[in-house]
Amino acid sequence: MGNRLTIVSPCYNEEDVLAEAAKLLGEILDKLIAQGKIAADSKILFVNDGSVDATWQMIKELEHKSPKYTGIKFSRNFGHQNALMAGLKKALPWSDMVITIDVDLQDDVEKIYEMVDCYHAGNDIVYAVRNNRDTDSKFKRNTALFFYWMMKKMGVELVPNHADYRLMSQRAVKALLEYREENLFIRGIIPKLGFKNTKVYYARKERYAGVSHYPLKKMLNFAINGITSFTIVPIKIMLYLGIVISTLSGLCLLWVLYSFLTSHTVSGWASVMMSLWFLGGFQLITISIVGTYIGKIFVETKHRPRYIIEEDDYTQGMTNQLAQSQVAHGTLRDAGKLPKELNHVNVN
């Protein structure tokens, strides 16, 4: 295994925390380089996901401050999952291992040392898993536990209490990028890749500064996307409920016929209206679930790009670095051609 590391960190309006995150990650990178565990030209790649504050200007300043910092800029906000995928794709040709971590400093950055050690021990994927949820509200903690329980019951393989803090080898990243669906749920895809993997555990902290970009509405949408991206169990549940309701309706019909034939009919609109409301609500829920799946099919068939990159300082910097190295060693190829490290990458 090689030892060039790229740390990918998505950023969306993170001007309050970016400087501190860059400082801490930079110190860790320097120590790992000094220990000989990663290459001297390892990088910290910030993916600016359409920030409207000074995030991108701060990334540019970091680039001028030290060559270990670099960034790419989206033309607008495309979402956290797409920012991760963009960072992974850009890092793939140049990196032997990639660590993804949010810039808000809630994840324990000190675990990067242990993750790199696990990589050198032969693991292609290292999951950073929370060992408690003490920093969450009671509501968030209980809903998260319910979500993992429900996904497991539906047959979806997830790593409980693991978000997007992980290390992946080059071949694991390459395998991940073969998944081309528009409706991304990365933490559900990673376990499907296989490869040798392990876990490291940490206690999550409070956000260093700023506000969370995952309010309740966004978390609910994320959960729904995760469920509908990996299983059709909700449709099967609706099928089974439909069978049960149809059976009960048949029994009620027999009861009505019996009452009519024995002259024990009881007039009353309440029971009729409640039945209509119940069946009407059930039908609307069923149509909505089926519509969600049809909508996802519609999105997938359009094959629109997941994101648009406005500026890519990372690839430009790595290409220049390679050219300088080739000049120094007298092996520079045709300047009009891409370096051979980029030739094998053909993932959209």
Instruction: Render pLDDT for 91-130 as a digit per residue (tens, 0 to 9).
Output: 999 999 999 999 988 889 999 999 999 999 999 999 999 8
Model pTM above 0.75? no
The rounded radius of gyration (Å) of the Cα atoms in the chain is 26
Exposed, middle or buried by CB within 10 Å (0-12, 13-18, 19+), for 46?
buried
73 strand-pairing partners = 48, 311
- The rounded distance, in Å, linking the Cα atoms of 86 and 307 is 8
Mean pLDDT of the chain: 80
Residue 174: pLDDT over 60: yes
Instruction: Locate the domains of the chain by residue range.
Output: 5-217+310-342, 233-302
pLDDT for position 344: 43
- In the prediction, which pLDDT does 213 show? 55
pLDDT: is 195 or 227 the higher one? 195
First to last CA, the chain: 25
Would you state the pLDDT for residue 266?
58
| pLDDT above 50: residue 53 | yes
Exposed / middle / buried, residue 96 (Cβ in 10 Å: 0-12, 13-18, 19+): middle
The rounded distance, in Å, linking the Cα atoms of 185 and 205 is 24
Q: Which of 120-129, 224-233, 331-340 has the highest mean pLDDT?
A: 120-129
Q: Which CATH class is domain 5-217+310-342?
A: alpha beta
Choose among 80, 87, 176: nearest CA to 125. 176
